[in-house]
Amino acid sequence: MRKRIKPSFIGLLVWLVGAGHLTGCVSGQLGKNNSGEYRNGVVVSAKKEASVVGLDILKKGGNAIDAAVAVQFALAVVYPGAGNIGGGGFMVYRSADGRSNTLDFREQAAAGSSRDMYLDAAGNPVVDKSLYGSLAAGVPGSVAGMVAAHEKYGHLKWEVLLNPAIRLAEDGFKISAAQAHELNELKARFVSLNPRGTALLKAKGDWVEGDVLVQEQLANTLRQIRDKGAAGFYEGAVADSLVAEMQRSGGIITKADLKNYKAVWRTPILGNYKAYKIITMPPPSSGGIALLQLLKSVEPFPLKRWGFNRDSTVQVMVEAERRVYADRAEYMGDPDFVKIPEKSLLAGAYIKSRMHSLDWNKATPSSALRAGDLTAAEHEETTHFSIVDRYGNAVSLTTTLNGSYGAAMVVSGAGFLLNNEMDDFSVKPGAPNMYGLVGGEANSIAPGKRMLSSMTPTIIEKEGKLFMIVGTPGGSTIITSVFQTILNVLEFNQKMQTAVAAKKFHHQWLPDVVYVEDGALDSTTAVQLKKKGYVIEVRGPIGRVDAILKTKWGYYQYGADPRGDDAAAAW
Ligand code: GLY
């Protein structure tokens, strides 16, 4: 006789609570609840097409790393402004069982580079030399990074992860209004830097929203990578094209530079903010150390009681930012070349002592803080994506060409854009650069060195369990955007989408200005801060955060930044 199964009371309760939380199906899956949260997996990135690629991989049984690899390649096609195979980036990974790791696939200065390579005979930076054309490019790291990530953690076959990007490149995709605008704006530069033409130039007239961008050469390059792995990019026909492009246009990357490039697994930066554990990126990104310094600087203050973006809240956050960015400038660079005093920078007593000089009655002038060196000018057109799979494996990945469309130079015959990441080095250490900023010696150019970054891919745990996956583009505003998004959730109980969309502000020590998005501060807050001597300047969008939050019910909320075309795909 079959045994009757008695439903346990607890089991029934759990089921009822869960069922009350469910509305039904997404693509036939019981994955979505009536709050628009998902339980089986989420991909949130700068472009819907790329998020959909990632979700398809998850549905095929791929894990978060598989999806990340597929999204990175898809973004290289559908988001050429920052998605890339000719750039680099950083990834923070946390497996479902709580182990974490970080991957550095940052670009590297070519062996032929030198400290003063962007200076004229008088020792001044040559305008645009580190920004456009092949000399602006570091040795790309993205393909090596994706291969390393897949080799260590991937589950699906490599080719399965490349095929969606290849299809998007050969069939084309519809460009957005923002992309049409960007491509038209860059037309003259594309024409002058790409005498052999590029798919990014429309044959006739201007680009308009909905035009289909087909990238055949890029599709061929992706096929090489699919069929030969890293060798399909760093050796053979693609490497030949890249080196030929260098030789044609005065660049210095050689075949040896390409062959020698390695992505590096690095120990994550770990720290706590109240009950939360922060897992974030170590150098050569400054992001992780700076984020933890910021969080620890404000931790003793009652932000929650003061309230979201009230004057005391903004003041203490700005004063923390001023101090942390001064440190960043002086101490940070590639850890394989310079010794970074990580322990000292993160010591509780040190951070507390830095905040001692905070004066509630007036702004601390940046000139009164230790005058160190500040980073080279940073560009904001990076891109970030966050992924969680059904098992709870999580990826936070930020990747970049540096400037929008990088060096504006597409490798002829290979169809991919070169980065202009060399501009993230201090082009002229110790003196103001062409943007009026001062560069630090720790971040000076040297062969084989990785340029300092602000990218801050981050994962947060609560009570030992996955809680948040977060990151953003935004150059020097990356760190402060991640900082604010985290506090918006942890202190001000905002939902993930609200926290991402919330207007942001930013201070980076020098210039001594609080940059704000229009409407970030209400008039009372702004008046209070101005009275204390803060210079407030409204600027364009700050950050483009794509993030995921796990609720106590085990569902995932996402935040796709409305400042861009960003979108999530979830089930
Ligand atoms: N290129 C921007 C960054 O690495 O921070």
CATH of the domain at 361: 1.10.246.130
Q: Is 454 in the pocket of ligand 1 (CB under 6 A)?
A: yes
The alpha carbon of 407 and the centre of ligand 1 are apart by a number of angstroms equal to 14
Assess whether pLDDT exceeds 70 at residue 237: yes
Catalytic residue among 382, 398, 399, 458: 382
Same domain, 209 and 190: yes
Same domain, 307 and 416: no
Assess whether pLDDT exceeds 60 at residue 23: no
pLDDT digits (tens, 9 = 90+) for 387-423: 999 999 999 999 999 999 999 999 999 999 999 999 9
Under 8 Å between Cβ of 426 and 440: yes
- Per-residue pLDDT at 433: 41
Closest by alpha carbon to 412, among 146, 261, 142, 221?
221
Distance CA(54)–CA(71), nearest Å, equals 5
Same domain, 103 and 148: yes
Supply angle C-alpha 136, 141, 145, rounded to 5: 165
**Domain annotation covers residue 525:** yes
- Per-residue pLDDT at 520: 97
Look up residue 7 and give its two tokens: 């439903």
Ligand 1 pocket mutation, candidates 289, 382, 397, criterion most atoms within 8 A of CB: 382
- Per-residue pLDDT at 372: 31
Phi, psi of 137 (to 5 degrees): -90, 140
Same domain, 398 and 376: no
Assess whether pLDDT exceeds 70 at residue 554: yes
Q: Is 382 in the pocket of ligand 1 (CB under 6 A)?
A: yes
User: What's the alpha-carbon Rg for the chain, to the nearest Å?
Assistant: 23
- At 440, the pLDDT band (50, 70, 90 cuts) reads confident
The residue-averaged pLDDT of 211-226 equals: 98
Same domain, 231 and 364: no
Assess whether pLDDT exceeds 90 at residue 373: no
Ligand 1: residue whose CA is nearest its atom 1: 402
Least confident of 93-97, 346-350, 394-398, 459-463: 346-350
- At 368, the pLDDT band (50, 70, 90 cuts) reads confident
**Domain annotation covers residue 8:** no
Ligand 1: residue whose CA is nearest its atom 3: 453
The alpha carbon of 281 and the centre of ligand 1 are apart by a number of angstroms equal to 13
Distance CA(557)–CA(488), nearest Å, equals 14
Ligand 1 pocket mutation, candidates 381, 455, 472, 476, criterion most atoms within 8 A of CB: 455
The residue-averaged pLDDT of 198-202 equals: 98
pLDDT digits (tens, 9 = 90+) for 87-138: 999 999 999 999 999 999 999 999 999 999 999 999 988 989 999 999 999 9
**382 part of the active site:** yes
Query: What does pTM read for this prediction?
Result: 0.92
Same domain, 473 and 506: yes
**Domain annotation covers residue 182:** yes
CA distances from 512 to 30, 309, 322, 329, 536 (A): 51, 19, 8, 14, 9
Q: Is 473 in the pocket of ligand 1 (CB under 6 A)?
A: no
Q: Concatenate the DSSP letters of all residues of 74-124 into one string.
A: HHHHH-TTT--SSSEEEEEEE-TTS-EEEEEE--B--TT--TTTTB-TTS-
Under 8 Å between Cβ of 544 and 473: yes
Same domain, 163 and 248: yes
**Domain annotation covers residue 38:** no
**Domain annotation covers residue 530:** yes
- Per-residue pLDDT at 25: 28
The residue-averaged pLDDT of 378-390 equals: 87
pLDDT digits (tens, 9 = 90+) for 502-532: 999 999 998 899 999 999 999 999 999 999 9
Atom of ligand 1 nearest to the CA of 106: 4
Amino acid at 333: G
**Domain annotation covers residue 472:** yes
Q: Is 458 in the pocket of ligand 1 (CB under 6 A)?
A: no
Structural domain for 491, as ranges? 266-380+455-554
Q: What is the mean pLDDT of the chain?
A: 91
Same domain, 71 and 138: yes
Same domain, 233 and 282: no
Task: Report the number of distinct structural domains present in the chain.
Answer: 2
Under 8 Å between Cβ of 90 and 417: no
Same domain, 346 and 482: yes
pLDDT digits (tens, 9 = 90+) for 141-177: 999 999 999 999 999 999 999 999 999 999 999 999 9
Same domain, 429 and 307: no
- Per-residue pLDDT at 17: 38
Exposure string for 539-569, b = 16+ CB within 10 A, e = fewer: eebbbbbbbbbbbeeebbbbbbbebbbbbbb
The share of the chain scoring above pLDDT 70, in percent, equals 91
Q: Is 477 in the pocket of ligand 1 (CB under 6 A)?
A: no
The residue-averaged pLDDT of 73-78 equals: 98
Same domain, 420 and 480: no
The residue-averaged pLDDT of 473-490 equals: 96
